[in-house]
Amino acid sequence: MLLTFHAGDFDSPDVIDLLAFHLKEMRSNSPPEACHVLPIDGLQEEGMTFWSARDRGRLMGIGALKRIAVDHGEVKSMRTVPRVRGRGVGRAILHHIILEALARGFRRLSLETGSTEPFAAALRLYGSEGFEPCGPFGTYEALPFTRFLTREL
């Protein structure tokens, strides 16, 4: 698999479908007060960069990077297409986001995710890439469901 990354790509039907699937999954697996999933318009806000990851034109996954301070970024909206889960796509997207964060001069990268079984694979991935538990950042609040992770770059 040879992934290429495409910034924006919001007009592609497959991206729109994957974002809709992501929104539905996050809302079904997260209590309302802890569901911070972004719709398409949220992914287009200033300070946010969104990518699709493709293999020979076929969508494999998505991910985004949000600037939350001059030296601090946040991983947002990572999702792998179900048919390729477990094949390294999520890790490749995360590596792309880390490289972009470094290129932008960020010194820290953080994220917020869930703590229940549907989030277990994501938590394993982030832990294997050096992300460690931390407290809430930005406007997030600590909730029993929520996990916050961070990594120095």
| CATH numbers and ranges of domains, the chain | 3-110 (3.40.630.30)
Are the CB atoms for 24 and 37 separated by under 8 Å? no
Note the pLDDT tens digit of each residue in 35-47. Answer: 999 999 999 999 9
Q: What is the pTM of this model?
A: 0.95
Say if residues 11 and 50 touch (Cβ distance below 8 Å): no
What would the pLDDT profile of 121-137 be if each residue is shown by its tens digit? 999 999 999 999 999 99
Contact present, 138 and 125 (Cβ < 8 Å): no
**Backbone angle region of 64, left / alpha / beta, with phi > 0 → left and psi within -120 to 50 → alpha:** beta
